[in-house]
Amino acid sequence: MRATIITIGDEILIGQIVDTNSTSIARKLNAIGITIGSKLSIGDTAEAITEAVTSAMEQNTITIITGGLGPTKDDITKHTLARIFHSELRYNDTEGEHVRALLARRGIAFTELNRGQAMLPECCTVLHNAHGTAPGMWFETPQGGVVVSLPGVPFEMEHLMDDEVIPRLKARYELKSIVHSTLITRGIAESILAERIAAWEEALPHHLHLAYLPAPNIVRLRLSAYDVEGEVTKREIEAQFERLHAIIGDNIVGMEDASVERLCHDILTTNNLTLAVAESCTGGTIASKFTAMAGASHYFMAGMVTYSNEAKCDILGVDADLIAAHGAVSQEVAIAMAEGARRVAHADYAISTTGIAGPTGGSEAKPVGTVWMAVATPQGTRAVLRNAGTDRGQIISRASAYAIEMLYDELKKR
Amino acid sequence: MRATIITIGDEILIGQIVDTNSTSIARKLNAIGITIGSKLSIGDTAEAITEAVTSAMEQNTITIITGGLGPTKDDITKHTLARIFHSELRYNDTEGEHVRALLARRGIAFTELNRGQAMLPECCTVLHNAHGTAPGMWFETPQGGVVVSLPGVPFEMEHLMDDEVIPRLKARYELKSIVHSTLITRGIAESILAERIAAWEEALPHHLHLAYLPAPNIVRLRLSAYDVEGEVTKREIEAQFERLHAIIGDNIVGMEDASVERLCHDILTTNNLTLAVAESCTGGTIASKFTAMAGASHYFMAGMVTYSNEAKCDILGVDADLIAAHGAVSQEVAIAMAEGARRVAHADYAISTTGIAGPTGGSEAKPVGTVWMAVATPQGTRAVLRNAGTDRGQIISRASAYAIEMLYDELKKR
């Protein structure tokens, strides 16, 4: 079973936004056994939409479209789909009332343009958008396929995929499984890795497809199988990866894309442990990574973004003399911050970061990118110095990742 | 002048990675006057690549391809392009030596697989990749167009675009300009905004295309013009936006990537004022927005992510009885948090948020999405209740935006 994903919007074609919708849709479709044949991004013109949708309908069974469903003149997806399916737009009372109520709650007047959002092609099944003003639409094609149109606002699209599209696709088609599994390796170049595992790769059965995905210091190995029996194939892939442990065991980090913060989240939750964070250069990024996960309130006691020296002293109880003697970016202050955070927040574990995110503030001894990180635990405190790069955004993101890795190492040791 | 961008890789089609390369390429091409007709993502098969490239060559003058140039067996772009252009692969000494030297510097042996990376189609112009092991390739098509193949590693692709592809395209084709300009509005719903500026929109000249780009509490208005004289059109667009100031002046935040936090940042910096943040439901997001901006250390005193009630009391000095009497999500606690943050961090201004980010924790009286926000200033403290939505990510992002707006309103009042 194959699908085409079409994302509509000039903002994608001119590079004003990164298209994350198609990534999320691809993942959700793969998870129920639907293969993506291709992804296409086009502009907001009736010609481009008509050509892309009719050609997709001919090539694949399923077409998922996002974008162009807003209330303004540049939103033409709905009108174009109505023409493709030779259908008239008609006012849908239920959706109209929903939009009216939704806007009322936010104190916004219901206008003629909003009324237009409840004008829907007669021939489609309306997919109720509980979280926004643009409903989704489900069209049946003459070839026995479906064309689904969803709003481009990411979280509205996500909810509609989960609540409406995926259940309907599962009910409508008999789907086999797609299995992807990824093993993460560290500290081995792609070409060397390929040589080391050449015999293993050569012996893979034909239905398991291997892909190498390199990133700085990391190579991910993915095995994929399409149109298979899920459970059997999962076990088969597990067994194949198991063999790699004998060949490159020291370089294996783990499986899939489970983030290190998610691994920490799980350990903290399961063991009723608590966490506090004291951030200087990472400026709240570590706290926001944890608190983005539902359930974080069970263990996340407090995060303190102590940017100024005064805040480090007043909030975390760092000794001002320590800062004067060693500077704010130092092992001593990183340790005092982590220990202060742990004490102030009554937490079992605490992470701290203090560094120079740039672009200014660097020196020869402590160039931009210098970051001290510490983890305070019930067993003691450990600090590490890293250089996190040269670009402010990169430094914040790498330093956050390094610090969360340090916490994970400590949590694993328990 | 039109281009097609093709990104190759199963990892894109299965949603394992977000395709940022095509966004960056689109931006760079637009900047020199090349319009993107469409963007296409396909898998690592010779059939898909052949079909996509030959069809793109027929449709548009320029085709830019990324991905599939690595050293391993799943990388087949180069072989497929050689077949499309009826060309043989031949070892390129210069590129071979470059790869050998690059690997040597990283302490990696030069293998047969790396040698393969210097095997290049005879008919192409080699684009030297100073930052990686996979060279780019520039092919001339029989139709007078070009097909360019670039590695998928983002920073390698970026350097090749900037150093090789863009200069060559500018030299090769006579290009007119594309102008995009974006005005950012806040605090006005897309449909209301569209009504307010309907007459202005109606009167826009035909060659200026208007797009509405909504985001939490923000709508961006973009005017685009293609194949124009750049400087003249830039002034024309400026004049058009100037007229909007008379209609929706209060809602205008600024141009391009202006943000409310940037406006606050500027006011705080210019006036030597300081800021502290006390976050519950927004979990560090507000702090990370400010600290992402270079120079934030001049005014950002501290951020406190007080998730637990204990942390609210211990760190911010919120009275435990106040929480017991009104609940953590209340006007009283929001005010006490903001005032506590202002006091503890010795800051001139402080923002606080306390709410229910969900998915659990809601009640009839205080459903998921309920957020109290307060801003404490030298003149006093103001609190506001908002419903920030129904989805955790949406609630965090909207509540952060609302709270920063409150701060901005107070800073403007000074």
**CATH number, domain at A374?**
3.90.950.20
Predicted-assembly ipTM surpassing the 0.95 threshold:
no
- Residue A405, judged by CB atoms within 10 A of its CB (0-12, 13-18, 19+), counts as middle
Mean pLDDT over residues B337-357, rounded?
96
Q: How many CB pairs under 8 A join A and B?
A: 346
Which strands sit side by side in the sheet containing B370-377, from one edge to the other?
Answer: A380-387, A370-377, A349-355, A275-279, A300-306, B300-306, B275-279, B349-355, B370-377, B380-387
CA terminus-to-terminus distance, chain B: 51
Does B390 sit within 8 Å of A10, measured CB to CB?
Answer: no
Residues of chain A with C-beta less than 8 angstroms from the C-beta of B224: 10, 14
At residue A217, the pLDDT reads 60
Residue from A42, A22, A26 nearest A34 by CA: A26
Query: Smallest Cβ distance to B302: which of A14, A192, A308?
Result: A308
* Interchain contact, B396 vs A192, CB within 8 Å: no
Domain boundary among A172, A202, A228: A172
pLDDT of residue A216: 58
> Cβ contact (<8 Å) for A195 and B314?
no
Last residue of a domain, one of B212, B238, B255: B255
What angle, rounded to 10 degrees, do the helices at A309-316 and A331-344 form? 40
The per-residue pLDDT for A257 is 65
Task: Dump the DSSP string for B91-146.
Answer: E-HHHHHHHHHHHHHTT----HHHHHHTEEETTSEEE--TTSSS-EEEEE-TTS-E
* Of B65 and A218, the one with more pLDDT: B65
Contact list, A307 vs chain B (CB under 8 Å): 291, 296-297, 300-303
Tokens of B14: 């299965």
What chain A residue is nearest to B179 in terms of C-alpha separation?
Answer: A14
Residue A150 bridge partners (DSSP): A66
Does the pLDDT of residue B358 top 80, yes or no? yes
Lowest mean pLDDT among A181-185, A215-219, A297-301, B253-257: A215-219
Residue A275 amino acid letter? L
Question: Are the beta carbons of A380 and A361 closer than 8 angstroms?
Answer: no
Task: Give the H/E segment covering residue B55.
Answer: helix B46-59
CB contact under 8 A, A345 and B315: yes
Contacts with A217 from chain B: Cβ below 8 Å:
none
Let me know whether A94 and A188 are in one domain. no
- Round to whole Å and give the CA distance between A238 and A236: 5
Integer Cα distance of A104 and A109 in angstroms = 7
* Contacting residues of A for B328, CB less than 8 Å apart: none
Mean pLDDT of B145-157: 93
Same domain assignment for residues B27 and B112: yes
> Which of B224, B276, B345 minimises the CB distance to A10?
B224
Does B48 touch chain A if contact means CB atoms closer than 8 Å? Answer: yes
A404 and A287 in a single domain? The answer is yes
DSSP annotation of B34 reads P
Q: Which of B243, B151, B157, B231 is nearest to B200 (CA)?
A: B243
| Domain C-terminal end among B210, B234, B255 | B255
Mean pLDDT on B366-374: 95
Q: pLDDT at residue A218 above 90?
A: no
Q: Which residue has the higher pLDDT, A318 or A188?
A: A318
Quick check: A178 and A226 in contact, CB under 8 A? yes
Single-letter amino acid, residue A205 = P
Mean pLDDT of A324-347: 97
Please judge whether B195 and A113 are an interchain contact, meaning their C-beta atoms are less than 8 angstroms apart.
yes
Residue A259, pLDDT > 80, answer no
**Are B193 and B251 members of one domain?**
yes
A1-10, A169-178, B354-363: range with lowest mean pLDDT: B354-363
Min distance A19 CA to chain B CA atoms (Å): 7
Task: State phi, psi for A69 to the nearest 5 degrees.
Answer: -110, 10
Half-sphere exposure of B24 (CA within 13 A, CB side): 20
A184 and A244 together in one domain: yes
Q: Is the dihedral of CA B390, B190, A85, A123 positive or negative?
A: positive
Tell me which residue in B284, B358, B389 faces A284 most closely, judged by beta carbons.
B284
CB-based contact, A354 to chain B, within 8 Å: no
A314 touches chain B (CB under 8 A): yes
Tokens of A134: 């643009």
- B84 pLDDT higher than 70: yes
CATH number for the domain spanning A251: value is 3.30.70.2860
Confidence band, pLDDT 50/70/90 cuts, at residue A28: very high
What residue in A sits closest to B76 (Cα-Cα)? A211
Q: Average pLDDT in the B14-32 region?
A: 94
Put simply, the answer to whether A303 touches B303 (Cβ < 8 Å) is yes
- Is the distance from CB of A78 to CB of A89 less than 8 angstroms? yes
How far is it, in rounded angstroms, from Cα A68 to Cα B264?
33
Which helix (H) or strand (E) element contains residue A261?
A: helix A260-270
Of A41, A71, A209, the CB nearest to B39: A41
What pLDDT, on a 0 to 100 scale, did the predictor assign at position A312? 95
Q: Rounded mean pLDDT of chain A?
A: 93
Q: Which of B2, B24, B28, B38 to mutate to test the interface with A (most CBs of A within 10 A)?
A: B38
For the segment A37-54, the average pLDDT, to the nearest whole number, is: 97
Note the pLDDT of residue B197. 97
pLDDT, residue A392, reads 83
Co-location of A281 and A238 in the same domain:
no
Predicted pLDDT at B156: 86
Could you give the CA distance from residue A221 to residue A241 in angstroms, rounded to a whole number? Answer: 9
Same domain, A243 and A349: no
Pairwise CB contact (< 8 Å): B283 & A277: no
Task: Answer whether A25 sits within 8 Å of B16, measured CB to CB.
Answer: no
Across B280-290, average pLDDT: 95
Chain A environment of B214 (Cβ under 8 Å) = 70, 153
Which pLDDT value is given to residue B103?
A: 84
Read off the pLDDT of each residue in B352-371 and give the average, rounded to a whole number: 93
Q: Return the closest-CA partner of residue B157 out of B24, B342, B302, B351.
A: B24
Indicate if A270 and A248 belong to the same structural domain.
Answer: no
Q: Does B271 share its domain with B304?
A: yes
- The yes-or-no verdict on residue B176 having pLDDT over 70 is yes
User: Which of A305, A351, A397 has the most B C-beta neighbours within 10 Å, making it the best mutation to test the interface with B?
Assistant: A305
pLDDT reported for residue B348: 97
A363 inside 8 A of chain B by CB: no
Is A26 an 8 Å CB contact of chain B?
A: yes
pTM over 0.90: no
> What's the total number of domains in chain B?
3
Chain B nearest CA to A313, separation (Å): 10
Residue A110 in this model has a pLDDT that exceeds 70: yes
Q: In terms of domains, do B246 and B316 share one? A: no
Same domain, A142 and A14: yes
**Domain that residue A93 falls in:** 2-172
**pLDDT class of A37 with cuts at 50, 70, 90:** very high
CATH number, domain containing residue A53? 3.40.980.10
Distance of alpha carbon A174 from alpha carbon A189, whole angstroms: 42
**Which of helix, strand or coil describes residue B394?**
helix
Do A250 and A267 sit in the same domain of this protein?
A: no
Of A257-261, B286-290, B381-385, the one with minimum mean pLDDT is: A257-261
CA distance A408 to A261: 8
Composition of chain B by helix, strand, coil, percent to 5: 45, 25, 30
Average pLDDT over residues B101-112: 83
Percent of chain A with pLDDT over 70: 99
Confidence band of A398 (pLDDT split at 50, 70, 90): confident
Distance of alpha carbon A107 from the chain centroid: 32
Q: Give the pLDDT score at A238.
A: 96
pLDDT attached to residue B285 = 95
Residue of B25, B35, B47, B72 to mutate, testing the A interface (most A Cβ within 10 Å of its Cβ): B72
Residue A337, CA atoms < 13 Å, CB-side half-sphere: 34
Q: State which residue of chain B sits closest to A397, comparing Cα positions.
A: B292
- Integer angstrom CA distances of residue B262 from A358, B251, B267, B394: 17, 15, 9, 21
